[in-house]
């Protein structure tokens, strides 16, 4: 079967958006929504100019420019795969060391939105405070060299300054990353970067630039030989195809002073209640991923759908979610949370996605404090159960030791792997050492209930192994 091609004349598209970060998620999410919109004959003045600020972005630009900026997106429906060529991006800007091309494009009056997918870890957040870190080396560079920035935020500041000087209204800055309050986080990064070199400009940005919050969702595995072979099965030679599950969701605040595409026409939820959707997704989906990641990793299970087929891991997930996570998720407009969780189980169990347990285990030091610890705090405050959540943390600690239950070596899987491994080794004899990582656990090392539950879980994992501990927890 041949892939479907864009159902519109791409030569008639004009740019309205610069998007920074052309990874798999963006091309399977925002780019697809816009492709659907253009196919309806709507919003043709909102095409994307792709951009990047990292070395890897230059390689992506080379690959995509060679195929006229078309992206192959393969939906992995268990009932049958389908492929489409996404045409909503019409150019990919040169990736310059000083970001001159990017700044020039963002300064153009027709650009009314600048969007970003730079990963959860790309916002220069100090783990100790949870706030923007103006002392991060790259940000400090941009503060000292505002005309030659190396970060996306420095480039955005330079373009906003250029627009302000000539009287062009500012663009909206829209994060598409999986962060709580991603609009607030992005505003802190842009304003904080500006303040280092031009406090007056920083105040102007604070008062005049919109940073809508948004919740994004679609499981999008990394691209490798399997995905390239899949593209070839559709008759395509594409070095950077994207595979993804059929499900996608985008919830967005409608805060766009210079206008926006009519995204509501293609299923985007526009609402002032983004936070409610966001909490549901982060606690249930991302927290669920963290829950199944480390037991699967320790039990030598390669794929997520295989973990979901294991009765102990599925039983663990069900009990943690229904007893320790979902009870503290506030109501969400027009959403049945029990139905939402059942959908999550179906999505995790999709064998076609072939998402890996190792990917879910990646970067726990960044993900645990966002996806697991808030549920722990809510459960403790309510006097509820926390044994399962404490076990999730203990499994992460045990995983960072670097050896599975069977004795297999676990290669480094976190930016802070060496530190985490040292902490895990120390915690084998003194579990509370793990909880003394303040950027992750804050003051939870002083909570008697949590310390006792974590200590019991970690000791049991070393004494009995993962499978036996899960069996005991499930009861």
Domain of residue 375, CATH code: 1.10.1040.10
> Which domain, by its residues, includes 370?
275-474
Domain assignment of residue 193, yes or no: yes
- For residues 169-191, give the mean pLDDT: 96
Whether residues 354 and 394 share a domain: the answer is yes
> Domain check: are 249 and 284 in the same one?
no
The stretch 85-113 carries a mean pLDDT of 97
Interval 114-129: pLDDT, tens? 999 998 889 999 877 8
The reported pLDDT for the residue numbered 201 is: 98
> Does residue 37 belong to any structural domain of this protein?
yes
Do residue 310 and residue 248 come from a single domain?
no
Task: Work out the average pLDDT over 421-425.
Answer: 98
Domain boundary among 271, 289, 314: 271
Residue 383, pLDDT > 90, answer yes
Q: What is the pLDDT of residue 111?
A: 98
Q: Where are the alpha helices (DSSP H) in 323-447?
A: 337-348, 357-361, 364-371, 373-381, 387-400, 417-427, 432-435, 438-441
Clarify whether residues 386 and 436 are in a common domain. Answer: yes
Whether residue 183 contacts residue 212, with contact meaning beta carbons closer than 8 Å, is answered with yes
Helices (H), 255-386: 274-280, 287-298, 304-308, 311-320, 337-348, 357-361, 364-371, 373-381
User: What is the number of structural domains in the chain?
Assistant: 2
Give me the pLDDT at residue 231, please: 95
Give the Cβ contact number of residue 422 at 10 Å: 12
pLDDT for the residue numbered 149? 98
350 and 371 housed in the same domain: yes
Q: pLDDT grade, residue 350 (50/70/90)?
A: very high
What percent of the chain lies above the pLDDT cut of 70?
100
Same domain for 229 and 283: no
> Does some domain include residue 5?
no
pLDDT band of residue 207 (cuts 50, 70, 90) is: very high
Per residue in 14-48, pLDDT (tens digit) is 999 999 999 999 999 999 999 999 999 999 999 99
pLDDT confidence tier of residue 319, bands split at 50, 70 and 90: very high
**Average pLDDT for 167-194:** 96
163-179 mean pLDDT? 96
Within-domain flag for 1: no
Question: Residue 147, SS3?
Answer: coil
| Predicted pLDDT of residue 63 | 96
CATH number at residue 205: 3.40.50.720
Judge if 150 and 83 occupy the same domain. Answer: yes
Report the predicted TM-score, pTM, of the whole model to 2 decimal places. 0.90
Given 237, 255, 271, the domain boundary residue is 271
Residues 250 and 343 in one domain: no
In a domain? residue 2: no
Q: Please identify, among 244, 271, 298, the residue that sits at the C-terminal boundary of a domain.
A: 271
Q: pLDDT tens, 210-246?
A: 999 999 999 998 899 999 999 999 999 999 999 999 9
- 279 plus 263 within the same structural domain: no
Instruction: Check pLDDT > 90 for residue 59.
Output: yes
- Bridge partners of 63, per DSSP, are none
**Residue 19, H or E segment:** strand 15-20
What's the pLDDT at 11? Answer: 97
């Amino acid at each position: 079967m041949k892939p479907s091609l864009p159902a519109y004349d791409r030569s008639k598209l004009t740019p309205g958006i610069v998007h920074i970060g052309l990874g798999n998620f963006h091309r399977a999410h925002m780019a697809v929504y816009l492709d659907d919109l253009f196919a309806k004959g709507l919003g043709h003045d909102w095409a994307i100019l792709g951009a990047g600020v990292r070395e890897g972005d230059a390689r992506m630009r080379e690959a995509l420019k060679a195929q006229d900026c078309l992206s192959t997106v393969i939906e992995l429906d268990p009932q049958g795969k389908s492929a489409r060529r996404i045409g909503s991006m019409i150019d990919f800007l040169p990736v310059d060391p000083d970001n001159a091309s990017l700044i020039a494009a963002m300064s153009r009056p027709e650009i009314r939105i600048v969007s970003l997918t730079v990963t959860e870890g790309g916002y220069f957040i100090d783990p100790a405070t949870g706030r923007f870190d103006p002392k991060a080396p790259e940000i400090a560079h941009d503060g000292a060299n505002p005309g030659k920035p190396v970060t996306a935020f420095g480039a955005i500041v330079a373009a906003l300054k250029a627009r302000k000087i000539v009287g062009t209204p500012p663009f909206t800055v829209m994060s598409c990353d999986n962060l709580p309050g991603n609009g607030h986080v992005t505003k802190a990064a842009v304003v904080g970067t500006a303040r280092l070199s031009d406090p007056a400009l920083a105040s102007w940005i604070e008062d005049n630039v919109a940073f809508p919050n948004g919740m994004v969702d679609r499981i999008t595995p990394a691209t490798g030989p399997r995905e390239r072979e899949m593209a070839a099965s559709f008759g395509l030679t594409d070095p950077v195809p994207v595979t993804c599950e059929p499900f996608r969701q985008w919830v967005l605040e409608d805060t766009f002073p210079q206008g926006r595409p009519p995204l509501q026409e293609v299923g985007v939820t526009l609402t002032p209640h983004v936070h409610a959707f966001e909490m549901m997704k982060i606690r249930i989906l991302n927290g669920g991923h963290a829950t199944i990641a480390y037991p699967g990793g320790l039990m030598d299970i390669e794929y997520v759908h295989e973990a979901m087929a294991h009765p102990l891991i599925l039983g663990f997930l069900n009990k943690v979610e229904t007893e320790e996570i979902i009870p503290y998720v506030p109501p969400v407009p027009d959403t049945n949370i029990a139905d939402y969780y059942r959908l999550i189980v179906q999505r995790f169990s999709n064998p076609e996605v072939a998402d890996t347990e190792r990917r879910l285990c990646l970067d726990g030091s960044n993900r645990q404090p966002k996806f697991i610890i808030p549920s722990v705090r809510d459960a403790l405050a309510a006097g509820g159960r926390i044994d399962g959540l404490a076990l999730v943390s203990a499994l992460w600690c045990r995983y960072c030791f670097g050896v599975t239950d069977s004795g297999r070596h676990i290669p480094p899987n976190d930016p802070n792997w060496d530190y985490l491994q040292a902490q895990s080794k120390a915690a084998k004899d003194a579990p509370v050492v793990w909880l003394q990582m303040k950027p992750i656990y804050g003051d939870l090392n002083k909570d008697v209930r949590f310390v006792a539950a974590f200590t019991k879980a970690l000791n049991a994992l070393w004494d009995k192994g993962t499978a036996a501990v899960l069996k005991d927890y499930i009861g």
